[in-house]
Structure 1
Amino acid sequence: MRRLSALVDQVHELARSAPVQHRKPILSRVAELRAAYKKQQERCIDFLQLTQEYADRYLADISDEVRSQGAVLRALEQRLRMAKDLRAEVINLQNAFEKWTCGQLKSVRKSVLSIAIPDDVKLVEEMDKILKTIKMCYKELDKFWIGEVRRVTKAVKTCRMNKEDLDQWNSFQKALSEASGIDEVGSTLV
């Protein structure tokens, strides 16, 4: 725009030095050129102001998105820590179960089977079935938490939470509430 203004000024100087009979039409054209230049300058200023407004809005939207994604990322990182902690807790429970509960039941089993009363043998067989079921549950819990850690790690890397994960967590929360005898708001079921 400055170069254009300088060129208009040069044309004006040339028009002043032109012969008198050509000076008036050239000066008239220079005046039209100056008016067009002023109008163009106003349009450019309007455009720059509009661009600035859009840029400000765009940056505000980006800032909001970054804050939102930051909150999601923090939630995902917390979820990942919880998933890892819960998986470690499942492993600890499983180890304690196998070491203490199964160990105690094995010693009871040996003493019961040494006496060999038929009803006691049926009881021991029933205990064995229950122990196998409990072991299977621990394996399933371990698989669940391994999968959960994988899903959350992926969500942290992509900074996106899948709707399926959210649905799975909601159903998992319901199942835990039902299994523990606690309703949605945390009070004991009657």
Structure 2
Amino acid sequence: MNPTPVSRGQRNRNRALLIVVVVIFLGSALVAGALRFAGWQPQGMRNHGELLQPPGDLRAVALATADGRPYEWQPVERTWRIAVAPPPHCVAECVRLSGDLDKVWQLFGREADRVHILWMGEPPPAAPRSRALHVLAEDDAFRAGLARNEDPAGVPVYVIDPNGFVILRYAPGFDAGHLRTDMARLLKLK
């Protein structure tokens, strides 16, 4: 059986179509590579907090609660932590901050049990007390592990992963909704 000959015009159309397919495929790969190496990320993939590079390592820090009980990291339980280490006489800003953190924690719903709020030192008396709040005794090693903790603008907030690495920092006066968004993404990680 002899194949039917293809006309010169049909052959040129087929070649042109093949070239268009190759250009579309390679062009999209080149554009994706250029965007990747330029540092671009889709809006939905960006975190609002400052990603700490390198992350602070608190695994070796032996924490204790204000009443003297040890606070264990327990990475197997996959518990994330939101940490605050305010200066000793923080009142108005700390009341607002503790209220914001309590609201954020409540919005986690069924995932709320996987989040602890670590507060270094005694919170103000007017601050809300959720069951997620763990008041920690003063610890210099813990404070040292929180990058730029002594910020003249106010009290920063940190996110600590289940293993004890400080991965995100939120500058003083941050939007609590941004913390909730970032934490909701992190809680989806298994």
> What TM-score, normalized to structure 1?
0.31
Structure with bigger strand share is: 2
Greater relative CO (CA pairs within 8 A, separation 6+)? 2
Q: TM-score scaled by structure 2?
A: 0.31
Larger radius of gyration: 1
Q: From the two aligned structures, give the one with the greater helix fraction.
A: 1
